[in-house]
Amino acid sequence: MSLSPLLDVRDLKVHLRLGPNVVKAIDGVDFRIMPGECVGIVGESGSGKSTMARAITRLMPNVNIAELSGELSFEGQDILAMPDGALRALRRGRGFSMIFQDPLGYLNPTQRVGRQIEEALSCDSSRGSNRNRVHTLLDEVGLPDPANVARRYPHELSGGMRQRVMIAIALASDPQLLFADEPTTALDATVQLQVLQTLYRLHKERNMAMAIITHDLGVVAELCDRVYVMRAGKVIESAETVRLFEHPQQDYSRRLIELSTRRLPRELQA
């Protein structure tokens, strides 16, 4: 049986204006995610990983776009051509979500976190009261005493707790695809591991496709089915994870693997 891709990106170009210059942040990328798949996106700093994730999820505030083109299809729907209203509906109803490296920059400092999660809930009235759904989500992302956490403001939580709140917000719409852009870089090593384990568990339990952007090839080795290697706005190699690690086709990929020697413990595996 051949499944069709959940996300199918062809010849994506994102050129950004930076003062008088134009940066070809993404310059003709093909990218695909199958339903329920976990894909890694790696590459040196500035290679375009975040720009690609933001273009695909259409979350590009504060950027000056010189060119945005290509084919971006999610479940067969053309996301690039989609009006804002339809795009919001797709985000709220089983579409895609994104989590960022820096939860403080994303959470509203003046609103209790429970309320922020509630606002992201999918409009599915059959799922019980909103408060219960918020508490269930907080519990799912591994936060103890959800009722207490829901009443707090972002600054009253630790970095790891805030990152979990952000994951809860991203999951509130029950997405089929989650983009995680260096979701744990700001956390200390133990908490990183716990948050990654949580993400991986949710990916498996919900059969939710996931794209993880990371500098840590160890994370990719343990979690991802396939990997895209990016360099200077292009995908220079893509392969199944095992194949990439055993037979990288590009020196650049081999160097990335060598540079990232840290490995995660085996318990992260399925």
Ligand X SMILES: Nc1ncnc2c1ncn2[C@@H]1O[C@H](COP(=O)(O)OP(=O)(O)OP(=O)(O)O)[C@@H](O)[C@H]1O
**Which residues contribute to the site for ligand X (CB under 6 A)?**
16, 18, 23, 25, 43, 45-51, 63
Q: Which is nearer to ligand X, 16 or 117 (CB)?
A: 16
Q: Name the nearest CA neighbour of 138 among 111, 158, 123, 118.
A: 118
Binding footprint of Mg ion on the chain (CB under 5 A): 50
Compute CA distances 60 → 51, 54, 68, 153, 263, whole Å: 8, 6, 11, 26, 32
* Closest CB 94 distance from Mg ion, rounded Å: 26
* Closest CB 23 distance from ligand X, rounded Å: 5
Q: Which is nearer to ligand X, 67 or 139 (CB)?
A: 67
Q: Which is nearer to ligand X, 172 or 229 (CB)?
A: 229
* Closest CB 214 distance from Mg ion, rounded Å: 10
CA–CA gap between residue 54 and residue 56 (Å, rounded): 5
3-state helix, strand, coil in the chain (%, to 5): 40, 25, 35
Compute CA distances 172 → 117, 175, 177, 207, whole Å: 7, 8, 12, 15
Residue 154 near which of ligand X, Mg ion, none (CB within 5-8 Å, type-dependent): none
* Closest CB 19 distance from ligand X, rounded Å: 9
Residue 98 near which of ligand X, Mg ion, none (CB within 5-8 Å, type-dependent): none
CA–CA gap between residue 240 and residue 227 (Å, rounded): 6
* Closest CB 158 distance from ligand X, rounded Å: 23
Residue 147 near which of ligand X, Mg ion, none (CB within 5-8 Å, type-dependent): none
CA–CA gap between residue 140 and residue 133 (Å, rounded): 10
Residue 95 near which of ligand X, Mg ion, none (CB within 5-8 Å, type-dependent): none
Residue 97 phi/psi, 5-degree rounding, is: -135, 165
